[in-house]
């Protein structure tokens, strides 16, 4: 869904803060890519196989995966 909205599978985001939180990174992404803004609040974030909390701090060189909610049974 996010890939379809963004028209790309990846987006490189440069942040002004040295150690931004996941929440700050998502806010910056919503500003840079407003077409994603409505969906970002529902996405989980992960680095490798570790889920992140919005308050977690980033080093600045990570690749974050955005995981939209899924439904099914």
pLDDT recorded at residue 15: 86
> Which domains can be identified in the chain, with CATH numbers?
2-67 (3.10.20.30)
Contact 69, 38 (CB under 8 A): no
Residue among 36, 51, 37 at smallest CA distance from 22: 51
pLDDT digits (tens, 9 = 90+) for 6-30: 878 888 888 887 889 999 999 999 9
With a cut of 90, say whether residue 60 has pLDDT above it.
Answer: no
Beta bridge partners of 46: 51, 65
Contact 28, 67 (CB under 8 A): no
């Amino acid at each position: 869904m996010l890939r379809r909205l963004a028209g790309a599978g990846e987006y490189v985001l440069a942040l002004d803060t040295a150690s931004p939180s996941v929440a700050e990174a998502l806010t910056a992404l919503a500003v840079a890519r407003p077409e994603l803004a409505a969906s970002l609040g529902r996405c989980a974030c992960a680095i490798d196989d570790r889920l992140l909390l919005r308050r977690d701090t980033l080093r600045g060189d990570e690749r974050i995966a955005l995981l939209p909610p899924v439904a099914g049974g």
